[in-house]
Structure 1
Amino acid sequence: MANLIFGGHKIGSSSLQFSAARGIFSEVENTTQPVGARDGEMLIRSRLKSRIIPVTYDFVALSRREFERQLAPLLYSTDVQKLIIDDRPDEFWYAKVDGKIDMDRAYFLGTGTINFLVPDGIAHSVATQTADNMPYKDVPVNLVTGSGGTFTGWSGYTSIVSWFVDTMAFAPNASSAVLAAQSFTDNSSSTVYTFSFLAKADTAGDKAHCELFGSASVSDFTLTTSWQTFTAKLTYTTMRRIYVGAAKGNKGSIYIARPKLEIGTTASPWSPNPADPEYYADTITVPNAGTYPSEPVITATINGDDGVLTAINDQGSVLQFGSPDETDGFVKQKSERVYHLDFNQTPTGVTLNNGVTAFPYYEHGNDANVQSGPFGYKDGIAYPSTQRTQSNYWNGPSMSGAIPKNSNGSNTANFQFVNRVNVDTSGPEVGRFEFNLTYQGKIVASLALFDDSPANDQLVFSGTLFDGKDAKMVFFNLLPRNYYRGGNYNAVITKMGNKLTFRLDRLDLGDGGIEPVDIGGFPAMPIDGWTAWFPGFSNQRGWSINWQDSYFEWINVDYWDDIPNRFKDGDVVKIDVANRRVLVNGFEDRTLQTIGNDWGGFKIHPSDNTIHLLTSNWAKQCKAEVSWQEAWL
């Protein structure tokens, strides 16, 4: 006997027990058809149908009706819920009560049957399994970088004969040692390190030398003409710097490969540093112990700039996001962020209360709206002043700055202008924010969100463009207040080719809401400045608003229409196969979808699976993790 957990409610006690007949697997439906005049038929397809799990129950109750009333709300649902039968707490079913619940009762004892419909017919694992592309993550950390590739960061090797892919060569010197050095970071309190490396010499008997800066040197190591492993115990030094190379007086060159510095007294096998490209493999082995395919979630952390992220499973299904590396000129072009305000300190190089706004006059008269008041700064957030005086105009602080041309000398290229704000507003409050791109003191494009009536709790999302003579509003969208309410928003203006897009992204209000407005036929208008304005009206009660982040970047990468995308260092890309969604840094990016992605075929099949990860041919491999829930027939 067992208890049930259905929709998060535990059902069962000493006086109510359940027993489930799950069956071996769902009913199998086979479709056949005759072929010509031959005997028999040919199998066309076979599929598993939905499953019914009959759960019998025994109970003791003084009142049948009271028992029914208590059980009903726990079992009723309008959609499938997670069902766990706790004799197997490791699995759950997406289930819903089906048909009539039978009940027979004699005196205080009763029994009955509840039929649960399982539409997908499959049991799912409660636990989430993971696999990643970091084969060295459980190996003691190598404190020095560039120890298995091109030794990036090593210095002081002017007398080194040559560099190989994974080897340093040191020329002989009769009067001094010939050393290469690299600084390292160690935040532990260790005072002892172990340094290991491979070495050989052109001339047997020549010697290698190693030390930590300021520490007592260990004895030199005598080499042969074959590769050997050498290990040295080195003591704590105040300057974190390691030296390795040739002792003085050698007769020929010596060679050193795969140096590893680690904490403690024991040498472990060589491994790359997490900053080295070798640390991340381009394949992930995914062992699925279930008996039915699962749909994975792939989470990739981009390591440096990258133009494309591709995942290929061993059934040949492909998911690709971004521009492929054969894009013309892709390697030679990068996006350029010309300014970034994170408000961890008071911004410099900006102007207060002298910007260009899309709403210079109050709409019911000729009263000029005013840019006035300070910003306060705390914990990486800018707080616009909310002090107002009674007047017939909008007033509040503004901040503006310059946008220089990109490195190609263009101020008409593709761009994105992103501002993050937090707004808290209710019915009687009014407020507004504008984020404007300008040229020679005129509006080029303006994104605004406002509520200008204390009587109507209505948010308006609007956009304004320069029409050749003046700034004209091109859209005016009333936003549903049950969906757009207080919280964090990204206000974004992007230009790709001749298409301008205004976006208002809800960041933490659920459902991944994005409100995009695309404007086609946008001319190649120059941009040389930006303005952000946060006014309130007169002395009426205003919004509670703060400004958290602001940046503008020129996008010089060639973008195809179907994948207008690029990735930056540290971006976290989450590929949710089951829901066919792609999220970048926690927010859904619908522009990353592309025709031809084989979502339906990208499954984790029982037994071992391999997922191959590809980035641009010039990019570093990303850090990636695959997570999945096993499933059983």
Structure 2
Amino acid sequence: MPFLYKDNKYDQVGLSDGEQLTYSRNAKTPITIEGTILSENSDLTVAETRDQLISLLSGNVTKQLKLSNYPGRYFDAIFEGTQEYDGTFDYIAKVDLVFMVPDGVAHSVAKKTFDNMPYKDIPLNLMAGTSADPVSVTGSGWNIQKLGSFNNPTVGKKYAATVLLGRADFAVSFQLWANDINGNRISLAGFPVTTQMGANQRSTIVCTWPDPGTTGAAQIEVTLAWAFQKTDVGTYQYLKAKLEEGTTYSTWSPNPADAAYYANTIMVHNGGTYPVEPIITATMHADNGMVGIVNDRPGILQFGTQEIDGFTTEESEVALDLAAVQGSHMDNQAATNNPYWGGDPSMPNEQIGNAIWTHDDYDGWKVEPNWPSITGDHKYWNGPSIKHNLAQTHNGNFKSNLTWDVMTRFQTGVSKVGSLETTLESDGKPIFQMILKDNSALSDQIWWMCYYKDQLVVNEQLDRSIFTNDKFIQLELQKFGNSVVFRVSPWVGNQGRETTITRQFTFADAASVETKQFSAWFMRDKTWGESTMYLIASTVKWQNVSWYTNIKNRFSNGDVLKIDVANAKTYLNGSLDPTMHTLGNQWEQFKLPPGDTKIAITPSSWAQPFACEVEIREAWL
């Protein structure tokens, strides 16, 4: 076994005494193995054994050479020749074999791995989102708190749920439920499983997942609640919730989907006497733009860039285009601020009859009251209404900023009366109303009325010399935050609006109010002639709706990046990736010296941590 070979270079400097050391390096290492060939130990003669040895030792590449006194190490060696071979006798021969080790290093047969997953040897927590930090839940009633869930449990397998309570003002019920895949409760044999707990107590409950049959059960949900419904408000604290396979409790651990599952550093111990070049494997669990590896020498390797995960834009979305949904309305269900004639409950106005869609070459499609559909004696305001649901924003919101445009005809005159109410409502209550009304049979007039909820905020008579019967009338509303703007404009054919009347208000709660439906109510007073009225268009648009666009990042969930430091190469999902950014990487600084090396792991600032494993093969001089 060699000890250590050094190659030192010395140079004389001028006429000074002695020489100066220019460099020192590890030299190639010869290994000589002395042996004797005995034919009595085999069925071969000395010559035949010699031939077999030559066959095994010949070649022009290094091979692994292992010595019995160091079974855990090997040398990358090449046969150099023999120093001595005596073939005089055919039953015995002394032979000295010489091998050369070009790198002069012995390598470990076994590899060592180090990672940033301190919990990997602890039984898996099947619930994501749990924590070792206390969580407080305050409330009355049942005060239910979902701790987590696990999808698609295995039939016949047992599962144990554990939680630790801290403070508990009342008795607490610890529960396992069977749900469908969407989290809806399912009646299933053996569920729920419950136990009662008190303050500063840990409890474990166990279930066996049965064959769900046709029930649709596909999820185990873990919850806490008051053991009894409470009228008083109280608080309980919990921590270290865990669901695992088996019947007993094990040490708490986060789920691999949780950031806490991963450390941001790895301590690598090289127990050899020679620096080694690791293979580093990074496995993504979410989108990521960058894999950064930094050691304490310091040395830096970076692949990809910080990037961004996505970007947010503000766009408009159509909540209602009346023309696109013609014929699908609900009849006579409009919300109103005018349910009674003159405000007298004994004289109710009526939503009755039906409205129809008609078409002509000038106005195109329009919806108008079908007066002949109303029969019988009706003393007060009466007529059909239509109602449509608004489509919520893509993120499920009915409170966004909005614009609302209504295009209508409202033709009236002396001895004619009528009212056209257009409303944005929520759950049967008016939120915004814009009304055109003629309630005088003695003069030619049109009133413009606007409501916010039940508050009349605009009540103005329009100039009939401007708002004439041959023109369209456009009603508009804008809500941006707590600011609300009402507008009315006369339109001439296809030439556009002539003028606009604007009234602006600020309401303290407008930004938080929901608008869920559109309705229109066409009304007449049976005693008088009917004003001609119809809707040509009604469009509601949500404004400033936040849209998040997820851009494709350098790395995606499930990607595996392998970094081969010795060869300065990277592999993505098993394939060599020459496009991976390596400019400026300090490969030489990642020869890890004997002893401990601390490695920091850095994803993009916005990204989830990734699993990282460092593999080394120790080496000795």
TM class by smaller structure: 0.5 to 0.7
Matches for 1:585-624 after TM superposition, within 5 Å: 585-624=573-612
> Does the CA-based 8 Å contact 1:168-1:257 persist in structure 2?
yes
Q: 1:420-440 deviations in whole A, cap 9, x for unaligned? A: xxxxxxxxxxxxxxxxxxxxx
1:332 maps to what in 2? 310
Equivalent AA in structure 2 for residue 28 of structure 1: K
Distance 1:119 1:315 in 2: 27
Q: Could you say what the CA RMSD is over the residues aligned between the two structures, in angstroms?
A: 3.0
- Confirm whether residue 196 of structure 1 aligns to residue 169 of structure 2: no
2:356 maps to what in 1? none
2:618 maps to what in 1? 630
1:574 to 562, 566, 583: 562
Distance 1:599 1:140 in 2: 37
Distance 1:197 1:35 in 2: 76
1:187 maps to what in 2? 154
Distance 1:619 1:599 in 2: 25
Q: Which shows bigger deviation, 311-320 or 182-191?
A: 182-191
2:222 to 242, 253, 257: 242
Aligned residues: 357
> Does the CA-based 8 Å contact 1:307-1:566 persist in structure 2?
yes
SS of alignment partner, residue 74 of structure 1: helix
Q: 1:205-252 deviations in whole A, cap 9, x for unaligned? A: 4333211126355443232xxxx3521324336551111244432543
2:196 maps to what in 1? 220
How far 1:305 moved relative to its partner? 0.9
SS of alignment partner, residue 86 of structure 2: strand
1:121 maps to what in 2? 104
Q: For the structure 1 residues 267 and 127, does the alpha-carbon distance in structure 2 shift closer, same or farther, using more than 3 Å as the test?
A: same
Distance 2:277 2:159 in 1: 47
Gaps of 5+ in 1: 1-21, 150-165, 335-553, 558-564
> Does the CA-based 8 Å contact 1:172-1:246 persist in structure 2?
no
Distance 2:284 2:241 in 1: 27
How far 1:583 moved relative to its partner? 0.5
How far 1:172 moved relative to its partner? 2.2
1:211 maps to what in 2? 175
Q: For the structure 1 residues 72 and 36, does the alpha-carbon distance in structure 2 shift closer, same or farther, using more than 3 Å as the test?
A: closer
2:3 to 24, 31, 35: 24
Q: For the structure 1 residues 170 and 246, does the alpha-carbon distance in structure 2 shift closer, same or farther, using more than 3 Å as the test?
A: farther
Distance 2:32 2:135 in 1: 70
Distance 2:117 2:155 in 1: 23
> Does the CA-based 8 Å contact 2:38-2:92 persist in structure 1?
yes
SS of alignment partner, residue 267 of structure 1: coil
Equivalent AA in structure 1 for residue 128 of structure 2: T
> Does the CA-based 8 Å contact 1:131-1:285 persist in structure 2?
yes
Identity of aligned residues (%): 35
TM-score scaled to structure 1, two decimals?
Answer: 0.52
Distance 2:9 2:550 in 1: 54
SS of alignment partner, residue 56 of structure 2: helix
Equivalent AA in structure 2 for residue 591 of structure 1: T
Q: 1:432-474 deviations in whole A, cap 9, x for unaligned? A: xxxxxxxxxxxxxxxxxxxxxxxxxxxxxxxxxxxxxxxxxxx
TM-score scaled to structure 2, two decimals?
Answer: 0.53
2:266 maps to what in 1? 284
Q: Which shows bigger deviation, 60-69 or 256-265?
A: 60-69
Q: 1:520-544 deviations in whole A, cap 9, x for unaligned? A: xxxxxxxxxxxxxxxxxxxxxxxxx
Q: 1:157-178 deviations in whole A, cap 9, x for unaligned? A: xxxxxxxxx55332221x4343
Distance 2:156 2:20 in 1: 72
Q: For the structure 1 residues 314 and 42, does the alpha-carbon distance in structure 2 shift closer, same or farther, using more than 3 Å as the test?
A: farther
Distance 1:236 1:105 in 2: 76
Gaps of 5+ in 2: 179-190, 211-216, 313-548
1:142 maps to what in 2? 125
> Does the CA-based 8 Å contact 1:292-1:605 persist in structure 2?
yes
Equivalent AA in structure 1 for residue 30 of structure 2: I
Distance 2:20 2:192 in 1: 82
> Does the CA-based 8 Å contact 1:197-1:260 persist in structure 2?
no
Matches for 1:379-390 after TM superposition, within 5 Å: none
Distance 2:258 2:551 in 1: 28
Distance 1:54 1:596 in 2: 43
Q: For the structure 1 residues 192 and 599, does the alpha-carbon distance in structure 2 shift closer, same or farther, using more than 3 Å as the test?
A: closer
Q: For the structure 1 residues 36 and 69, does the alpha-carbon distance in structure 2 shift closer, same or farther, using more than 3 Å as the test?
A: closer
1:131 to 101, 104, 114: 114
1:414 maps to what in 2? none
Q: Which of these two proteins has the greater Rg computed from alpha carbons?
A: 2
Distance 1:34 1:252 in 2: 88
2:253 maps to what in 1? 271
- Confirm whether residue 91 of structure 1 aligns to residue 54 of structure 2: no
Equivalent AA in structure 1 for residue 139 of structure 2: P
Larger strand fraction of residues: 2
- Confirm whether residue 312 of structure 1 aligns to residue 278 of structure 2: no
1:105 to 53, 78, 87: 87
SS of alignment partner, residue 224 of structure 2: strand
SS of alignment partner, residue 310 of structure 2: coil
